[in-house]
Structure 1
Amino acid sequence: MHILLADDHDLVRDTLAMFISAEDGSEVTAVSSVNEAIDALANINNCDLVLLDYNMPGTDGLAGLNAVLEASGDVPVALLSGDATPAIVDQAIASGAAGFVPKTLGAKSMMTAIKFMVAGEIYVPFDYTQQAATPAIEGLTARETQVLKGLSKGQSNKEIARDLDLQEVTIKLHVKTLSRKLGAKNRTHAAMIARDRNLL
């Protein structure tokens, strides 16, 4: 497979490119802007999939995706992001994106997603569709609400990460953020606040 990866963050781009190449032996062309992605599409004869970062400089919202979709012809284009909301993902799919790949996706899951989209299918992580259906507690994001539910069940970060198909470090960040929002001293205190306020 030949993957075109467009991301303006050098470290993220290089890490993902190395990771995709090592995992499946795929060829990866890495670029840092929407314009470079469009130029690369004109010069790559055998591109199988474009992974395009949502937050690219010089583009507004999904404008970058639409520009690359217009230039891609029959090559599927997927949105790549660390913070896109379910609403943005829905808009991207409606615009013609082949799917959505969270940057936090594990190695095997990411390669499965890539192969799925190369085969012509649309990929969106199951937990993301679930997230869209999860009503957020006021002041918390839907994802933070899901993590708080895990804390309230007495789950460890590792268990919550497994249930939500996320990295453990991502869960730690969510716990830190939601604890700050709730005024909690730690994860246990956050779970107690949720229980006492009947938040869940």
Structure 2
Amino acid sequence: MADLENTNLSAESNKDAKEDKLTVLIADDHELLSHALSSALNSYGIEAFTAKSFQEALLSIRKHKEFDMVLLDLQMPGMQGLQSIKAVVKAAGASKVVLFTGDVEPDFLQSALDANVWGLIPKTISLKSMVGVIKLISTGEVFLPTNASTSVIRSVEKKNVGDFTQDEFLVLGHAANGLTNKEIAFTIGTSESRVKMLMRSVCGKVGAKNRAHAAVLCRELGIL
């Protein structure tokens, strides 16, 4: 009986782990980039799939309804600007569609955001930062690079659900400035254990291994 119970618990645990695993479709015709990114994401526990054209991306989305996110290249075969973006967003349903491309004109980017795109990830971003960005978007944050136009960034700030709480931002800022947990606790008037709890939450949201890694990632992502 005990063995059977352990087996059932193990099966449930594996099922939960599978359900919690993020799934991402990389829609890009640059095969070397797609495969490198796919391998990197898989190594971080994110299940990645690839598509090389607009039509293939739509087919993958309609066939597999479980994608959490779709990374969409604007230059791959079959893409026709905003019309294609809207088609992917519609087909993706609850999946978060994110532009994965180079420079984009501010007006076009704003139109894409208005069409319910969850931001823009530049292809120049490092693979480690990419993982953090994907996890950040999965929590409900719209992401834009720091060089996006001021007007677009302001519109996104209004749209974002503000997944970081005020206390998390405070703790993150102090940690980035080199304060210890004890010093942060004294500065903001709370306990050291609560500071640790807030830092764990921050690390989880950006996919960081520790507080130092969180500070580096948040600087790269333009959060700090």
What TM bracket, shorter-length normalisation? 0.5 to 0.7
1:50 match: secondary structure: strand
Shift of 1:48: 0.7
Give per-residue Cα distances to partners, 1:33-91, cap 9 Å, x unaligned: 11111111122242110001011222222222111011011111000002323333222
Q: In the superposition, relative to structure 1, how do residues 96 and 131 fare at CA in structure 2: closer, same or farther (>3 Å)?
A: closer
Do residues 43 (structure 1) and 59 (structure 2) align?
no
1:3 is matched with 24
TM-score (structure 1 length as normaliser): 0.60
**Does the aligned pair in 1 maintain the 2:52–2:77 contact within 8 Å?**
no
1:188 is matched with none
Given candidates 24, 29, 34, the residue that maps to 1:13 is: 34
**Does the aligned pair in 1 maintain the 2:69–2:95 contact within 8 Å?**
yes
1:105 is matched with 125
Given candidates 84, 92, 101, the residue that maps to 1:72 is: 92
2:202 is matched with none
1:63 and 1:113 map into 2 onto residues whose CA distance is: 25
**Does the aligned pair in 1 maintain the 2:41–2:48 contact within 8 Å?**
yes
1:5 match: secondary structure: strand
Runs of 4+ in 1 over 3 A off after TM superposition: 129-133
2:99 and 2:86 map into 1 onto residues whose CA distance is: 11
Within-5 A mapping of 1:23-62: 24-62=44-82
Most deviating of 124-133 and 36-45: 124-133
Identity %: 33
* Greater C-alpha Rg: 2
Within-5 A mapping of 1:1-200: 1-22=22-43, 24-129=44-149
2:50 match: secondary structure: strand
Give per-residue Cα distances to partners, 1:129-182, cap 9 Å, x unaligned: 45979xxxxxxxxxxxxxxxxxxxxxxxxxxxxxx959xxxxxxxxxxxxxxxx
Q: In the superposition, relative to structure 1, how do residues 131 and 82 fare at CA in structure 2: closer, same or farther (>3 Å)?
A: farther
2:81 match: secondary structure: coil
**Does the aligned pair in 1 maintain the 2:110–2:152 contact within 8 Å?**
no
1:16 and 1:103 map into 2 onto residues whose CA distance is: 10
Instruction: Name structure 1 gaps, 5 residues minimum.
Output: 134-163, 167-200
2:93 and 2:133 map into 1 onto residues whose CA distance is: 20
2:147 and 2:40 map into 1 onto residues whose CA distance is: 23
2:103 and 2:29 map into 1 onto residues whose CA distance is: 15
TM-score (structure 2 length as normaliser): 0.54
Instruction: Name structure 2 gaps, 5 residues minimum.
Output: 1-21, 154-218
